[in-house]
Amino acid sequence: MSSNPFAVMAGRFRLIALLGLLGLVAGCQVRPLYDEASGTQKSLGSIAFSASDNRVEQEVRNHLIFLVAGGAGEPSAPDYTVDLTVKSEAIGVLLEQSSDTPRAGRVVVSADYTLSRTKDGTVLRMAHRQSVALVDYPEQEFAKLRAIRDAENRAARELAELIRADLAAALSR
Confidence of residue 71 (pLDDT cuts 50, 70, 90): confident
CA distances for 111 relative to 92, 95, 141, 154, angstroms = 21, 28, 28, 14
Task: Tell me whether residue 81 is in a domain.
Answer: yes
Q: Is residue 72 part of a domain?
A: yes
- Cβ 43 vs Cβ 81: under 8 Å: no
pLDDT in tens, 129-146: 999 999 888 888 888 889
Whole-number mean pLDDT of the chain? 81
Tens-digit pLDDT profile for residues 146-170: 988 999 999 999 999 999 888 888 8
Q: How many domains is the chain built from?
A: 1
- Cα 16 to Cα 147: distance, rounded to the nearest angstrom: 65
Contact 44, 165 (CB under 8 A): no
Position 101 scores a pLDDT of 67
* pTM score, whole prediction: 0.72
CATH of the domain at 102: 3.30.160.150
Burial label for 166, CB within 10 Å (0-12, 13-18, 19+), is middle
> What mean pLDDT is predicted for residues 95-114?
79
Whether residue 142 is contained in a domain is answered as yes
Q: Determine, yes or no, domain membership for 13.
A: no
pLDDT of residue 112: 94
pLDDT of the residue at 87: 94
Residue 156 and residue 109 in contact, taking contact as beta carbons nearer than 8 Å: yes
Could you tell me what percent of the chain has a pLDDT over 90?
Answer: 28
Computed over its alpha carbons, how large is the radius of gyration of the chain? 26
Taking only the tens place, the pLDDT of each residue in 60-69 is 999 988 888 7
For 99-107, what is the mean pLDDT? 75
Burial 1-17 (b: 16+ CB within 10 A, else e): eeeeeeeeeeeeeeeee
What is the domain extent for residue 104?
A: 36-171
- pLDDT confidence tier of residue 128, bands split at 50, 70 and 90: very high
Query: What single string gives the DSSP state of each residue in 67-133?
Result: HHHTTS---SS-SEEEEEEEEEEEEEEEEETTTTEEEEEEEEEEEEEEEEETTT--EEEEEEEEEEE
Q: Which residue type does 24 have?
A: L
Over the stretch 22-40, which tens digit does the pLDDT of each residue have? 776 666 665 554 555 556 6
Within a domain: residue 6? Answer: no
Within 8 A by CB and 6+ apart from 42, the residues are: none
* Within-domain flag for 108: yes
